[in-house]
Amino acid sequence: MADLPSDFWAGWITVLTVVSFLGLAWLVFSVYFSANGHADEDSPVWDETLREGSNPAPMWWFWMILALMVLSVVYLMLYPGLGSYSGALRWSQGGRLDESFATYAQEFEATRRLVLAAPFETLHDDERVMESAERIYEQNCAACHGPTGAGQAANFPNIVDDDWQWGGTPEQVEQTLRAGRQAVMPGLAAVLDEATISAVAQHVIAMQSGAEVAAGDPGQTAYATYCSACHGADGSGNTLLGAPNIVDDTAVYGNSVETIATTIANGRFGIMPPFAERLDDAQIHMLVAWLTRDSSP
Ligand code: HEC
Ligand code: HEC
pLDDT the model gives residue 273:
93
143 C-alpha to ligand 1 centroid (Å) = 24
User: Is a pLDDT exceeding 60 seen at residue 296?
Assistant: no
pLDDT the model gives residue 295:
55
CA distance 64 to 287: 58
Task: Count CA atoms within 13 Å of residue 245 on its CB side.
Answer: 11
Q: CA nearest 1: which of 69, 101, 97, 95? A: 95
pLDDT the model gives residue 243:
93
Number of the ligand closest to the Cα of 204 = 1
Task: Count CA atoms within 13 Å of residue 240 on its CB side.
Answer: 3
CA distance 67 to 180: 60
Number of the ligand closest to the Cα of 252 = 1
pLDDT the model gives residue 200:
92
pLDDT the model gives residue 137:
94
User: Is a pLDDT exceeding 80 seen at residue 211?
Assistant: no
CA distance 184 to 269: 5
2-11, 226-235, 245-254: least confidently modelled range: 2-11
Is 129 near ligand 1, meaning CB less than 6 Å away? no
CA-255 nearest atom, ligand 1 = 27
99-106: long-range contacts, CB 8 A cutoff, minimum separation 24: none
Dihedral angle of Cα 161, 162, 168, 169, to the nearest 10 degrees: 120
Contacts of residue 215, Cβ cutoff 8 Å, sequence gap at least 6: none
Cβ neighbours of 217 (radius 10 Å): 16
Q: Pick the residue whose CA is nearest to atom 19 on ligand 2.
A: 272
User: Is a pLDDT exceeding 70 seen at residue 36?
Assistant: no
Contacts of residue 175, Cβ cutoff 8 Å, sequence gap at least 6: 166, 167
Rg (CA), the chain: 36
CA distance 282 to 136: 11
What mean pLDDT is predicted for residues 253-279? Answer: 91
CA 34-38-44 angle, 5° bins: 110
pLDDT the model gives residue 267:
92
pLDDT category at 297 given cuts 50, 70, 90 is very low
What mean pLDDT is predicted for residues 133-138? Answer: 91
CA distance 254 to 205: 12
CA-250 nearest atom, ligand 1 = 26
Share of the chain above pLDDT 90, in %: 33
The per-residue pLDDT for range 61-102, each reduced to its tens digit, is: 889 999 999 999 999 989 888 888 888 888 888 888 888 888
